[in-house]
Structure 1
Amino acid sequence: MNPLDLEKLKYPIGKFEAPQEYTSEYISAKIAIIESFPERLRKEAAHLTDEQLNTPYRPNGWTVRQVIHHCAESHMNCYIRIKWSLTENNPVIKAYDEALWSELPDSLTMPIEPTLNLLDGLHFRLAYIMRNLSPMDLEKSFIHPENNSEYHIRQIIGMYAWHSNHHLAHITSLKKFKNWM
């Protein structure tokens, strides 16, 4: 496979690009994306067969099922990281190995409906807490131990809106390629 084609399969909407400025309009738009993600994901995935759910979105990539379960796991970590940032002074968060998590039985074989339901409640909470952040809260941060980088909540909102759309595009691109529409 052509490396450019593989890159397009890995990043169908491109890589995350941070804005020059985190305006209130930018933050509100990203929160709306986060809030709508579970409904958009359900629309694209709820009717898929087990065979379709077990199809990788790219060569040597995760299956659709793994992608869906990964979104819940990643976004749960996002929620906890925001809560830590709001209640502790620049905490060092715990990293997790998403590749190893994706190989556990729940990611490989569990039905997606419980995860879609989890995402409904989780994203309601994410959007709720995000909408109620003050400008000072948006500046609160955590340290990621893998690269010792500091991430502000304002950045996390943009990154997780991108993350939602990124993985949704994995599914919609595969559906289009396989003519599952």
Structure 2
Amino acid sequence: MPPDPPQNPVGAFTPPAENQVDLSACIAGIETQPSQLAATVDGLLDDQLDTKYRNWTIRQIVHHLADSHVHSYVRFKWALTEDHPTIKAYDETLWSDLAESREGTIQPSLMLLGGLHARWGKLLRSMPRGDFSRGFHHPESGEDVCLASALAYYEWHGRHHTGQIAWVKKERLGL
């Protein structure tokens, strides 16, 4: 019997101080995530995509990454064009339980992530250092989040979920 999945296969996210974020490394991570994810899921069959990590299948994780990173990109745009906006929160569990996330092919989400991250990388590279101090208010957590911290989190977030899929492939699917 395979071991229980680790909570954080690539390590837990440790929020760095705003001035400690390695912007270049995080931007490079954002830019390369779609190809790393695509390589990780390449060749998986439909029934393999329905293998669970913990609560979500590989398929749901891929769709979640697309949903989540679209939200993050829009939050960056709001923070760059509005004065400390309050963002719209969403229930990722309910989103992942919709039929298109449970049953839909992953190709549209992989394509979406490729295009989204290309645009996001361009946006990030065009931002002056001071713009990373801009931020938004998260209504559920009550936190004020600067863009440098959000960037560090989403760079980790992509690696985190890709790591979950890699764990499933190795430990549950023997690939």
TM-score bracket, shorter-length normalisation: over 0.9
Q: Work out which structure has the larger RCO, using CA pairs closer than 8 Å and 6 or more positions apart in sequence.
A: 2
**C-alpha separation in 1, matches of 2:33 and 2:88:** 25
Give RMSD over aligned pairs: 1.7
The equivalent of 1:41 in structure 2 is 37
User: 1:10-48: per-residue Cα shift (whole Å, max 9, x none)?
Assistant: 211222112246357x11001111100110111111310
User: 2:152 pairs with 155, 158, 164, which one?
Assistant: 158
**C-alpha separation in 1, matches of 2:144 and 2:85:** 10
The reply to whether residue 99 of structure 1 matches residue 93 of structure 2 is yes
Unmatched tracts of structure 2, length 5 or more: none
The reply to whether residue 121 of structure 1 matches residue 115 of structure 2 is yes
| Amino acid in the other structure paired with 1:9 | P
- Which contiguous aligned blocks of 4+ residues in structure 1 show a shift greater than 3 angstroms? 20-24
The reply to whether residue 54 of structure 1 matches residue 50 of structure 2 is yes
User: 1:148 pairs with 139, 142, 151, which one?
Assistant: 142
After TM superposition, give the deviation of residue 9 of structure 1 in Å.
Answer: 2.1
Unmatched tracts of structure 1, length 5 or more: none
After TM superposition, give the deviation of residue 178 of structure 1 in Å.
Answer: 2.6
The reply to whether residue 14 of structure 1 matches residue 8 of structure 2 is no
**C-alpha separation in 2, matches of 1:87 and 1:53:** 38
**C-alpha separation in 1, matches of 2:100 and 2:89:** 20
Instruction: Give the TM-score normalised by structure 1.
Output: 0.91
Number of matched residues? 174
User: 1:66-110: per-residue Cα shift (whole Å, max 9, x none)?
Assistant: 000000000000000000000000000000000000000110111
Query: What is the percent sequence identity of the aligned residues?
Result: 41
